[in-house]
Chains A and B, each alone.
Chain A
Amino acid sequence: MNRRGFLRSSAVFGVGAAALAASLKPLLELKDFSSMEKFLQKYYREMTPADMEKVLTRITNEVERQYGLRPHVQDLKPMDGVSFVYALNLTRCIGCRKCVHACVAENNQSRSPEIQYIRVLKMPHGSLDIEKSEHDYNPEKVPEKGFFYMPVQCQQCKKPPCVKVCPVHATWQEDDGIVAIDYDWCIGCRYCMAACPYGARHFNFTKPLIPKDRLNPEMAYLGNRPRTQGVTEKCHFCIQRTRAGRYPACLEVCPAGARKFGNILDPESEVSKILATKRVFIQLKEDLGTSPRFFYYFDV
């Protein structure tokens, strides 16, 4: 190659490299996106107890570094002989959305943009057609005359379409019926969101923002530990509470007593009795064959 050719190709190469560097510049702002340890982390269901121990330590340290608060992160397993069921009394629900906000506080959801697991639908009397529902109702006083309210959250289907479509098994059904997500395994393709008939799944479109003083330090791996940008999340029946023998946050906060939760395998449980005695109960979109563990009923 002659001198002129060399100079010319170096100039072209130089301009190309500079342009490439300039276009990659936004990457400089990347912080805490991932670490080698996190990148290589194993799949939840293939972890040994020792692996899990390490992961929980990593999560604890990360949360402490970020929020200045040392959390208590556990990997709670399903209890033997327990199959969770949720029942919601539509006659009682007054549409106050207290459950929505209690859920956000309990489960460390992003506050900006805010992610809510529960959507309360305002429905005209006499119809269960959710295409007639109103989502953004905001009157001075609820309930309003002529309407009833239907809170919708993850239905924990027995045949969950989201589990079927996930290409990497990042979501699955646990033995107690909870459909769980390994947030560190999700690739963020959002196919589960397209598949879910209940709008239950939510995506972290950006890094979740939780004020330091709002963090709930009682955490579970499959539950309310802080999520990262780019993964899906949803209601998990407050796994960090219910697997420790407590009620979900939405139930505890409900001022109308509309929410009931328990073990369907225990014939003495409240939910067993409700399902045994109520003449009408509804599984939302029953025709889709998803078979929800979430039942709506009326006092009749």
Chain B
Amino acid sequence: MTTAIRNYLVFLKRCAKIAFVGDWRYYVWMGILSSICLIGLNAYCKQFVNGLIVTGMSDEVSWGVYIANFTFLVGVAAAAVMMVIPVYIYGNEEMHDLVIFGELLAVAAIFMCLAFVTVDLGRPDHFWHLIPGIGQFNFPASMLSWDVLVLNGYLLLNLHICGYLLYSRYCGRKPAAWFYIPFVFIAIVWAISIHTVTAFLYVGLGGRPFWNSAIVGPRFLASAFTAGPALIILALQVVRRVTATASAVDAEQLLDHATLQAGRPATLEDLELLARHLPELASVSPQIRQEALIGAEVLELAAGNVLLRQGDKDDAAFFILQGRVVVKREENGRFRIIRSGGPGDQFGEISSLAGTPRVATAITEEPSRVLRLPADSLRKLMKGPAMNKIVRSRMTERLLITDRALLMLRSIVQVSMLINVFLLVNEVFKEFYSGNTHVASAKYLFVGLHGHHALVPWIWTAIAFNLTAMVLLVLPISRSLKWLNLTCVLAITGIWIEKGMGLVIPGFIPTTLGAFIEYQPSINETLVCLGIWAFGLLCYTIFLRMAVPILQGRLSRANEDATTAPVTLRPSC
């Protein structure tokens, strides 16, 4: 038990440590984000002292961009579920690791949500009145109390799922299904609930006809499932970029100089050495080991040698006896490290067993000794349950951000955007065609009313962005990543405006007594918002900074004592 706790603490310590290490780009990026965070904190301190009067809000428009951002980000958090469904329900292996990125984004988004709600409070010092059991929790009557529960619950669920998956990977063991799969399914339902509950905050108010519409909940979900995955598409490409090593052309030249040396036949001693790093091998009987040695070779290689090359077809699998091997994949003309392994690790086994072309290239990173096994030998070794389990468990989880995965996300964005626009059309029809007096807010929003039209440019920008994004998504052109990125940016911006300036604000205009008081966020308010966004990005960057090396195998329990292997974002090639 104590070792388990110790191991976990070491894990946390190493994760925390790695967050402070990176190349110059990392420091610049973190420095900029930290500065914006501090500017936001400074603006918030001013607000804390002087009150919400430093914002653009008033008795008439009593919620502003804080709550608008909150609403948008709840959607982003909820959309993480769209990453989970293809993997766990349809067993799409290609997106397996991407789920972790999605859930980490959800965690960062909820941090931002909680920050946005907190800065919106007039008495943040009375916060404890909200804690069930200590304060006075108006549950289930107040939708806000529901929101407190579902948001914090969702945060815990996601922290548990990705924390557990990452820790299992760090320890090099297969995660126990019962310990996370049930939570994954709970999280799917929960994700829908967080956004529905947030929509109900508005829908439940009979005195605000603009919000008091049953379609707001479905609209929230549709727009969330557009903006969320769109944000993840962009984030994944950034991850892909910063974990890439060099352009494919450079690497191609480098690889051409590397020559694979002929090996010597493997012996039982070599297997004995491997068993030291791979205890499961000990359960294999000496007789089977002897059989497995047929055709097996041991290679002594200098750094920079290619063991197998992406696209090639041969049937060998490899185990590292000594040294370090890095597995890279060419994507869009750049090489990206998928993982790196030390003694006891395997690679090439998937294509070896399946007889498919290599999906990546493996290169020695330092002088290494490697065991090369023909597919038949590997199958023999895997006859025992222990070996079978360990080899198979390592096969399933791989850090691949393939274009196919991004295009899978594209189709989610595509369908959601179509539904989103369709629901908006429904809403607009209902408001304008019936022509009753409650149309005032919608009229104010879309065309302006009684000489007031502050929101008109906003909503038409949003509509233009959303429609353009929708057309691009339907056209095959958005299969190219450049166009897809543009589409995602348009969709995210469009939906951010639609939910903030287009839904939260007009609900207050005109007031319940028919007066027109307009709203414009103040500079201080805007700085607080920017600070919180920077804080969220900071959190997400740190999460990725920890998660990527773990998924790559560069940060694992096996190399706990290795002080020599520095973990950098961009190792020199």
| B-binding residues in A (CB < 8 A) | 16, 19-20, 22-27, 29-30, 33-34, 39, 43, 113, 115, 119, 121, 129-133, 135, 152, 161, 164-170, 185-191, 193-199, 201-207, 228-232, 285, 288-290
Contacts of B135 in A (CB 8 A): 43, 168
Docked-complex contact B129 and A203, CB < 8 angstroms: no
Q: Knowing A204-B51, A229-B122, A289-B206 touch, does A167 contact B46 (C-beta < 8 A)?
A: no
Docked-complex contact A188 and B121, CB < 8 angstroms: yes
Interface status of B45 (Cβ within 8 A of chain A): yes
Instruction: State A119–B512 Cα separation when bound (angstroms).
Output: 12
Contacts of A164 in B (CB 8 A): 141-142
Q: Which of B58, B120, B136, B143 contacts A168 (CB 8 A)?
A: B136
Minimum C-beta distance from B119 to chain A (A): 11
Q: Knowing A188-B123, A194-B507 touch, does A24 contact B144 (C-beta < 8 A)?
A: no
Instruction: State A130–B148 Cα separation when bound (angstroms).
Output: 35
Docked-complex contact B45 and A25, CB < 8 angstroms: yes
Q: Can you name the residue of chain B whose Cβ is closest to the Cβ of A115? A: B59
Contacts of B120 in A (CB 8 A): 189-190
Interface string of B41-75 (1 = CB under 8 A from A): 11001101111110001111011000000000000
Interface status of B561 (Cβ within 8 A of chain A): no
Instruction: State A290–B512 Cα separation when bound (angstroms).
Output: 14
Interface string of B504-546 (1 = CB under 8 A from A): 0001101111110000000000000000000000000000000
Minimum C-beta distance from B442 to chain A (A): 13
Q: Which of B34, B46, B117 contacts A26 (CB 8 A)?
A: B46
Instruction: State A229–B437 Cα separation when bound (angstroms).
Output: 36
Interface status of B208 (Cβ within 8 A of chain A): yes
Q: Which of B48, B50, B121, B440 contacts A189 (CB 8 A)?
A: B121
Interface string of B16-53 (1 = CB under 8 A from A): 00000000000000000011001101100110111111
Contacts of A29 in B (CB 8 A): 49
Docked-complex contact B514 and A230, CB < 8 angstroms: no
Interface status of B446 (Cβ within 8 A of chain A): no
Instruction: State A119–B515 Cα separation when bound (angstroms).
Output: 11
Docked-complex contact A131 and B437, CB < 8 angstroms: yes
Minimum C-beta distance from A27 to chain B (A): 5
Contacts of B205 in A (CB 8 A): 161, 165, 194-195
Instruction: State A253–B206 Cα separation when bound (angstroms).
Output: 34
Q: Knowing A23-B42, A165-B142, A167-B137 touch, does A206 contact B51 (C-beta < 8 A)?
A: yes
Q: Which of B123, B137, B437, B440 contacts A230 (CB 8 A)?
A: B123
Interface string of B122-134 (1 = CB under 8 A from A): 1111110110000
Q: Which of A16, A165, A229 contacts B144 (CB 8 A)?
A: A165
Contacts of B435 in A (CB 8 A): none
Contacts of B42 in A (CB 8 A): 22-26
Interface status of B172 (Cβ within 8 A of chain A): no
Interface status of B138 (Cβ within 8 A of chain A): yes
Q: Which of B35, B46, B129, B201 contacts A187 (CB 8 A)?
A: B129
Q: Knowing A161-B207, A288-B207 touch, does A26 contact B62 (C-beta < 8 A)?
A: no
Instruction: State A122–B25 Cα separation when bound (angstroms).
Output: 62
Contacts of A129 in B (CB 8 A): 437, 514
Docked-complex contact B513 and A152, CB < 8 angstroms: yes
Docked-complex contact A26 and B138, CB < 8 angstroms: no
Docked-complex contact A131 and B440, CB < 8 angstroms: yes
Instruction: State A164–B205 Cα separation when bound (angstroms).
Output: 10
Q: Which of B141, B145, B204, B514 contacts A130 (CB 8 A)?
A: B514
Contacts of B144 in A (CB 8 A): 165, 167, 189, 191
Q: Which 4 A-B pairs rank lowest in CB-CB distance, beginning with the nearest?
A: A188-B122, A197-B207, A230-B122, A206-B51
Q: Knowing A167-B142, A189-B121 touch, does A205 contact B51 (C-beta < 8 A)?
A: yes
Q: Can you name the residue of chain A whose Cβ is closest to the Cβ of B136? A: A169
Contacts of A191 in B (CB 8 A): 142, 144, 201
Q: Knowing A25-B42, A191-B144, A204-B122 touch, does A30 contact B49 (C-beta < 8 A)?
A: yes
Q: Can you name the residue of chain B whose Cβ is closest to the Cβ of A189? A: B121
Instruction: State A91–B41 Cα separation when bound (angstroms).
Output: 54
Q: Knowing A23-B45, A131-B440, A206-B51 touch, does A188 contact B513 (C-beta < 8 A)?
A: no
Docked-complex contact A133 and B514, CB < 8 angstroms: yes
Given contacts A26-B48, A206-B52, 12 further A-B pairs with CB under 8 A are A19-B38, A30-B49, A131-B514, A133-B514, A167-B137, A168-B126, A187-B126, A191-B201, A205-B51, A205-B53, A288-B206, A290-B207
Q: Knowing A129-B437, A203-B59 touch, does A121 contact B125 (C-beta < 8 A)?
A: no
Docked-complex contact A207 and B513, CB < 8 angstroms: no
Contacts of A188 in B (CB 8 A): 52, 121-123, 126
Contacts of B511 in A (CB 8 A): 199
Docked-complex contact A203 and B62, CB < 8 angstroms: yes
Interface string of B432-445 (1 = CB under 8 A from A): 00000100100000
Q: Can you name the residue of chain B whose Cβ is closest to the Cβ of A38? A: B125
Contacts of A26 in B (CB 8 A): 42, 45-46, 48-49
Instruction: State A72–B511 Cα separation when bound (angstroms).
Output: 37
Minimum C-beta distance from A162 to chain B (A): 10
Q: Can you name the residue of chain B whose Cβ is closest to the Cβ of A27? A: B45
Q: Knowing A167-B144, A187-B122, A189-B120 touch, does A23 contact B39 (C-beta < 8 A)?
A: yes
Contacts of A202 in B (CB 8 A): 59
Instruction: State A25–B35 Cα separation when bound (angstroms).
Output: 15
Q: Which of A43, A170, A198, A289 contacts B512 (CB 8 A)?
A: A198
Q: Knowing A130-B513, A194-B205, A199-B60 touch, does A33 contact B125 (C-beta < 8 A)?
A: yes
Report 26 cross-chain contacts, Cβ distance below 8 Å, ordered by A residue: A22-B42, A23-B41, A23-B42, A24-B41, A24-B45, A119-B513, A121-B513, A129-B437, A131-B510, A133-B514, A165-B141, A165-B143, A165-B204, A167-B144, A168-B137, A168-B138, A187-B121, A187-B122, A197-B512, A199-B513, A203-B59, A205-B53, A206-B53, A207-B51, A290-B206, A290-B207
Instruction: State A203–B508 Cα separation when bound (angstroms).
Output: 15
Contacts of B507 in A (CB 8 A): 194
Contacts of B49 in A (CB 8 A): 26-27, 29-30, 33
Docked-complex contact B142 and A185, CB < 8 angstroms: no
Minimum C-beta distance from A103 to chain B (A): 15
Contacts of B122 in A (CB 8 A): 186-190, 203-204, 229-232
